[in-house]
Amino acid sequence: MIPRGASGSDLLDKLRALAARRAEVDADAAFPGDTIIDEVLSASEVVIQGRRTLMLGSNNYLGLTFHPEVRAAAREAVDRWGAGTTGSRVANGTLAIHTALERELAAHFGKRHAVIFTTGYQANLSVVAGLCRAGDVVIVDADSHASIYDAARLSGATTIAFRHNSPEDLARKLARLPSGRRDRLVVIEGVYSVRGDVAPLKEIAAVCREHGAYLMVDEAHSFGAYGPRGLGRAEAEGVLDAVDFTVGTFSKALGNVGGFCVSDRPELDSLRLLARSYVFTASGSPATIASVRAALRVIARDSSLRERLWANTRRLRARLEAGGCLVEPVESPIVSIPVGEELPAVALWQRLLEAGVYVNIMLPPACPHGACLLRASCSAAYTTEEIDRAAKVIAGVVREAGVRRTAGAESPIDGG
């Protein structure tokens, strides 16, 4: 809820304006962004304000946060390696388990090289800003994640946005650049995190190939869910070899925190000395790295997790639509419901939380003003009973709030 027109003569004016905006909401009610989870009971259920709550906002797509092998690996790593590294990868922060995970990620993707990072945000910062510099061109999808835009700014390169999911607009933008140069990087996402829509990767890869542009794909929300081996949208579209740099995160399907980049380009290894956010950030903790390695092994051998994820996703979508909810028409584990303006959307989110269901809420600047939405992230961890209960609660609360189901419309919440 960042207010518009918040600039002033005092550095703190924008913070005061935000506090005033926050005051428009019931001070005693839960508020997006500062909700405290008192206890985590399982991969599907938490305790918030003393109430057992179904967690549909975690991005824990495969439910691996509570997998016994993953938790055991974390415990063993703490006993062997200690709680943290207290140093960056280029200082004292590279343990044998860091390089082992890099080898395993590269092998998992069938690539020659991999670099891991402490966060997924840092992965995008490091790769884009490490590859590009002033005089280069970064061309990003208009709906790209904040980390991609921040990375482009950090690089100093000229940044150009093309219309969301439009290979035609990308081709027009590339055609305007001087030909015969390899100083341009196209950055897209496999699945976009707000609405859950997927990129037309095959067409975009063809455009990049025609115009000699390098292609980077952020598979944060698609790794583990798409493709015969769960490698993401590029694998699902059959263009994995056409992607120069694949970036991903540990904080979604792998159930932890961190990020990675895999590539067949040998130059990737030089990022270790060029990417400032890699050089000057402490490395991932032993517990994190060991549990990610365990999660990767589970994903590699157990395709049933991916099958359950999609079965649950389709069930949740079907139940919500049967209950009268307008759901974004995309095939993705991200299930989004358009709701309209900010304050009514926050009130709807609060009602759902009081009813025992936690979902994410997308507010500006994550979405345009007047286009706020609720976002549920499906998981393989849910039982059919939990899916049905969540759908019943969401549909009931949405109906009571007056969200209109109107095909092709914004479906705003009625006033008041």
Confidence of residue 1 (pLDDT cuts 50, 70, 90): low
Q: Quick one: how far is CA 66 from the chain centroid?
A: 20
**pLDDT at position 31, please?**
79
Is 145 catalytic? The answer is yes
Q: Report the pLDDT value the prediction gives residue 408, as an integer from 0 to 100.
A: 37
> From CA 225, how far away is CA 31, in angstroms rounded?
30
pLDDT digits (tens, 9 = 90+) for 253-290: 999 999 999 999 999 999 999 999 999 999 999 999 99
Q: Which CATH superfamily is domain 23-55+303-401 in?
A: Aspartate Aminotransferase, domain 1 (3.90.1150.10)
Catalytic residue selected from 124, 193, 277, 291: 193
Q: Are 43 and 254 in contact (CB under 8 A)?
A: no
Q: Is 252 a catalytic residue?
A: yes
Contact 185, 137 (CB under 8 A): yes
pLDDT of 415 higher than 70 = no
Question: In this structure, are residues 113 and 269 in contact, taking their beta carbons and an 8 Å threshold?
Answer: yes
189 flagged as catalytic: yes
- Helix, strand, or coil here: 183? coil
Q: Is there a cis peptide before residue 365, judged by omega within 30 degrees of 0? A: yes
Q: Can you tell me the distance from the alpha carbon of 129 to that of 329, in angstroms, rounded to the nearest whole number?
A: 34
Question: Into which CATH architecture does domain 67-301 fall?
Answer: 3-Layer(aba) Sandwich (3.40)
Extents of the domains making up the chain: 23-55+303-401, 67-301
Cα–Cα distance measured from residue 337 to residue 273, given in angstroms and rounded to the nearest whole number: 43
Bridging pattern class, strands 372-377 and 334-340: antiparallel
Would you call 88 a catalytic residue per the annotation?
Answer: no
Residues paired with 360 in a beta bridge: 375
Q: How far apart are CA 189 and CA 148, in angstroms?
A: 10
pLDDT level of residue 247 (50, 70, 90 thresholds) = very high
Does 328 qualify as catalytic in the annotation? no
- Across 65-81, average pLDDT: 98
Q: Is the pLDDT of residue 413 over 70?
A: no
> Hey, is 215 helix, strand or coil?
strand
Q: What pLDDT does residue 122 have?
A: 96
Which of 136, 141, 189, 235 is the catalytic position?
189
Q: Which of 67, 126, 252, 277 is catalytic?
A: 252
Contact by Cβ (8 Å): 160, 140: yes
Q: Is 259 helix (H, G, I), strand (E, B) or coil?
A: strand
**Pick the catalytic residue: 144, 221, 285, 336?**
221
| pLDDT > 70 fraction of the chain, expressed in percent and rounded | 94
Token pair of 3 as six digits: 């207010």
Active site residue 218: yes
User: Among the options 59, 147, 256, 263, which is catalytic?
Assistant: 59
Q: Is residue 193 flagged as an active site residue?
A: yes
